[in-house]
């Protein structure tokens, strides 16, 4: 396997090396391609055993409807209770428009994991550079326990 210094963008190479170096991930990876020169440009295309081909990329404003569907249909009430950065009851659309806009302005790192045309993961890191950053990770309920290689 080539190392990260042999690739056009060392950042992408370091991310790929990190993923491949994780024994749990390495056992599930069928293929992987990592591109991007920095965190704002990162895209991971990976074939995951038991799941299929997945794309992880930075969120974009056009993700709005898919993100809303993920939050309201991909997460159970219990998962929404545990992952509560958004007002699920009131004005969810406006909150999502605002966070997607903030991501475009590079004030928050916001990624989505896609399986086909559905978001199955939503991740963010904000307030980086501060003593306590904001971190959020939500995985579609039907993908919990994916380490077993199943998504039912």
Residue whose entry in the numeric block shows the structure tokens 């190392």: 3
Distance, CA of 32 to CA of 39 (rounded, Å): 17
pLDDT at 128: 80
Whether the CB-CB separation of 100 and 92 falls below 8 Å is answered with no
pLDDT in tens, 33-91: 999 999 899 999 999 888 899 999 999 999 999 999 999 999 999 999 999 999 988 89
Count of other CB atoms within 10 angstroms of residue 52: 12
Reading the block at residue 39, the tokens are: 């965190």
Residue 110 DSSP one-character state = E
pLDDT in tens, 5-35: 455 678 899 999 999 899 988 888 999 999 9
User: DSSP of 27-62, one letter per residue?
Assistant: TTEEEEEEE-SSGGG-EEEEEETTTEEEEEEE--GG
**Per-residue pLDDT for 4 more than 60?**
no
pLDDT in tens, 92-134: 999 999 999 988 888 889 999 999 999 999 999 988 888 898 9
More confident residue, 2 or 108: 108
Ranges of H-type helices in the chain: 10-21, 23-26, 64-69, 77-82, 92-104
Whether the CB-CB separation of 64 and 96 falls below 8 Å is answered with yes
Distance, CA of 84 to CA of 76 (rounded, Å): 12
């Amino acid at each position: 396997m080539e190392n990260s210094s042999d690739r056009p963008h060392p950042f992408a190479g370091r991310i790929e090396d990190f993923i491949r170096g994780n024994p749990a991930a390495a056992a599930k990876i069928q293929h992987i391609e990592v591109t991007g020169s920095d965190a704002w440009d990162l895209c991971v295309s990976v074939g995951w055993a038991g799941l299929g081909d997945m794309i992880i990329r930075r969120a974009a404003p056009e993700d709005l409807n898919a993100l809303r569907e993920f939050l309201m249909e991909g997460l159970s009430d219990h998962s929404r209770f545990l992952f509560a950065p958004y007002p699920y009851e009131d004005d969810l659309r406006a909150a999502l428009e605002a966070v997607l806009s903030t991501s475009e302005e590079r004030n928050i790192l916001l990624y989505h994991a896609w399986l086909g045309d559905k978001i199955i993961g939503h991740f963010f890191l904000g307030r980086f550079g501060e003593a306590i950053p904001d971190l959020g990770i939500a995985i579609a309920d039907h993908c919990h326990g994916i380490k077993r290689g199943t998504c039912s």
